[in-house]
């Protein structure tokens, strides 16, 4: 455990809480210390100390790997059957607690009466867990083809930081990280990660405020006739509790309102009245991607299809573009794409159309008319050979984007009820990726002298978006990925003022957001970077025209002119940035297409 505020502030003999002192203490009650272990250090008799020493000895000689720090206490009535139990100094497990699995605590941690801690659970220093709470670091599958008791058990683990207070009757589910200095209200059900200093409550738990804020500031402002933090006037609807006191809330709210108000005009300026097709920006040629970007933007800001046509007509036009032989989608006026050796072209619009057309159709309530046949027939051997031949060393973005397109095609095939690819190919993909990730960087590929980590990080985003994120699988070496990405984000060649573009910022925030689902490693640095980028991103909005993509060093792409591609990407970036700092709810939208935060929905019966 690293050094912490909690460690510095908690003395070897814990200061007694007046509430804890107010208990009846019959001298001969052997259950007193089991239920009130905070009294043990100062009040236990020699007889009771000898009994506790025997309890410790039995645990140390038991089947599991057990380490007990100084001045620990484990209640005689606690059911403690660990594979691994490491209790830090001055920590205790109280009466009728149920502890199994791999449980490790820092110093000054308390597992109070009737608490359940199971699975792989790590506590920092100074963690207080209230009575009747449950930390359940495992889960059962829910596939409809097996009874629940026969489902496989999975476990991602629970991590609790330093100086955390978890109230009574709280449930924390598998995969959650609660960062340093958090307070969780009684009865909460914590289903997602919580950033440092969060005060949270409810089912599911939601952020109420930052613990560093003065409690009741909003109520005091209202009582005095002023304006509460977040801009809500006295007598109006109060701001969402998670946003009280945040300087970003007003900007986010104003941006979201303006974007929704201007969305129809933004789409109008990029539609050709004669053909009904969409262009990225006035003066550009119509593209398939522009139509898909329009669908994504309309879904985000309007909650419906672009208003020029009914959703069914949008879907019909996009479905008609698919080549029935290959299952690929060419650009307007182009010949059907020529498949590559493992099913997809090496480059070009048709590879990205697997993503953008597929997700646009999904948003419209439709789907591809045909499977992506060129991927459906790809064998594991062909796929593995091609993966090895991709240019990971010097063109990792190209390699990662190919994996993204291939995995997404496999996903659409599953959604249509066909095979993803030839038997074993999808498994071979993930096997190859796991065995070829660099444990030092967590990535595939290498830095280059010309662009540093740009190719590697940008390729990582594309690769993991279509594979691990889309299929709901944890990424390997998440902490090393965060280190690599944060180092890259300091490169002035790509992130100096005026040099950021949508691609480069997206390819940093998505890996940070994705890995934060698995670890709290350098969480404060990631949140600080996200907050700074969020402020800058909101200022790039052009009224009635949307976001520009931003400059590229080679001068290609949509550049500084606002258009559909830049708008679609920056809307997703803004949501990811806001979510990492705990303010996404202010926006009133959530990506459901290419940049959706949840894993894509599987086909019926494939879960």
Annotated active-site positions, please? 140
| Cβ–Cβ < 8 Å for 444, 400 | yes
User: Which distant-in-sequence residues (6+ apart) come within 8 Å of 453 by Cβ?
Assistant: 447, 484, 487, 488, 491
**Cα-based angle 461, 466, 467 (whole degrees, multiple of 5):** 100
By CB neighbour count within 10 A (0-12 exposed, 13-18 middle, 19+ buried), where does 379 fall? middle
| Cβ–Cβ < 8 Å for 526, 254 | no
CA distances (Å), 241 to each of 89, 165, 218, 231, in order? 36, 19, 9, 12
CA distance 69 to 54: 15
Query: H/E/C letters for each residue in 387-436?
Result: HHHCCCCCCHHHHHHHHHHHHHHHHHHHHCCCCCCCCCHHHHHHHHHHHH
| Cβ–Cβ < 8 Å for 103, 83 | no
Q: Which residue has the tokens 């953008």?
A: 356
CA distance 383 to 344: 11
Q: What is the DSSP letter of 448?
A: B
CA distances (Å), 472 to each of 44, 160, 467, 598, in order? 51, 23, 8, 8
CA distance 72 to 6: 17
CB atoms closer than 10 angstroms to residue 116: 18
CA distance 293 to 180: 39
CB atoms closer than 10 angstroms to residue 557: 16
Residues forming beta bridges with residue 448, ordered by sequence position: 452
| Cβ–Cβ < 8 Å for 511, 441 | no
Alpha helix stretches (DSSP H) within 320-365? 349-363
């Amino acid at each position: 455990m690293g050094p912490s505020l909690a460690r510095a502030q908690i003395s070897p003999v814990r200061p007694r809480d007046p509430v804890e002192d107010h208990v009846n203490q019959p001298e001969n009650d052997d259950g007193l210390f089991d239920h009130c272990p905070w009294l043990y250090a100062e009040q236990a008799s020699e007889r009771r100390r000898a009994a506790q020493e025997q309890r410790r000895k039995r645990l140390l000689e038991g089947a599991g790997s057990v380490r007990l720090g100084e001045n620990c206490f484990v209640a005689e009535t606690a059911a403690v059957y660990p594979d691994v139990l490491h209790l830090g100094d001055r920590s205790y497990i109280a009466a009728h607690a149920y502890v199994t699995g791999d449980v490790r605590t820092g110093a000054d941690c308390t597992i109070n009466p009737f608490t359940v801690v199971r699975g792989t659970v790590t506590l920092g220093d100074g963690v207080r867990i209230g009575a009747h709470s449950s930390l359940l670091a495992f889960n059962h599958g829910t596939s409809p083809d097996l009874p629940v008791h026969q489902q496989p058990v999975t476990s991602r683990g629970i991590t609790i930081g330093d100086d955390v207070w978890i109230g009574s009757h709280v449930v924390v589910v598998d995969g959650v990280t609660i960062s340093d200095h958090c307070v969780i209200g009684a009865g909460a059900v914590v289903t997602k990660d919580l950033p440092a200093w969060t005060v949270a409550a409810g089912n599911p738990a939601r952020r109420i405020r930052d613990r560093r804020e003065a409690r009741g500031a909003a109520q005091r402002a209202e009582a005095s006739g002023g304006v509460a933090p977040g801009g809500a006037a006295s007598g109006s609807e109060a701001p969402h509790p998670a946003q009280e006191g945040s300087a970003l809330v007003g900007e986010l709210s104003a941006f979201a309102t303006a974007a929704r108000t201007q969305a129809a005009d933004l789409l109008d300026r990029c539609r050709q009245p004669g053909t009904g097709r969409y262009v990225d920006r006035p003066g550009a040629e119509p593209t398939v991607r522009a139509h898909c970007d329009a669908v994504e933007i309309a879904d985000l800001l309007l909650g419906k299809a672009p208003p020029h046509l009914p959703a069914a007509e949008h879907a019909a036009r996009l479905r008609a573009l698919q080549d029935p032989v290959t299952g690929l989608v060419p650009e307007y006026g182009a010949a059907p794409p020529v498949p590559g050796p493992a099913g997809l072209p090496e480059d070009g619009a048709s590879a990205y159309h697997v993503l953008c057309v597929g997700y646009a159709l999904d948003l419209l309530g439709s789907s591809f008319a045909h499977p992506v046949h060129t991927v459906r027939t790809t064998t594991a051997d062909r796929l593995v050979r091609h993966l090895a031949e991709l240019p990971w060393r010097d063109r990792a973005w190209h390699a990662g984007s190919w994996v993204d397109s291939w995995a997404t095609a496999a996903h659409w095939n599953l959604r249509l009820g066909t095979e993803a690819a030839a038997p074993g190919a999808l498994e071979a993909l993930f096997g190859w990726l796991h065995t070829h990730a660099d444990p030092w960087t967590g990535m595939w590929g290498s830095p280059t002298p010309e662009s540093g980590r740009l190719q590697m990080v940008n390729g990582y985003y594309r690769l993991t978006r279509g594979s691990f994120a889309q299929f709901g699988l944890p990424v390997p070496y998440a902490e090393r990925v965060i280190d690599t990405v944060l180092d890259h984000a300091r490169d002035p060649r790509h992130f100096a003022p005026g040099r950021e573009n949508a691609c480069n910022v997206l390819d940093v925030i998505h890996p940070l957001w994705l890995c934060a689902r698995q670890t709290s490693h350098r969480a404060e640095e990631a949140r600080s970077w996200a907050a700074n980028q969020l402020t800058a991103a909101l200022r790039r909005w052009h009224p009635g025209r949307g976001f520009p993509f931003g400059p590229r060093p080679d001068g290609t792409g949509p550049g500084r002119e606002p258009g559909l591609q830049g708008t679609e990407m920056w809307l997703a970036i803004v949501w990811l940035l806001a979510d990492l700092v705990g303010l996404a709810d202010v926006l009133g939208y959530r990506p459901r297409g290419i940049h959706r935060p949840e894993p894509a929905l599987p086909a019926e019966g494939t879960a």
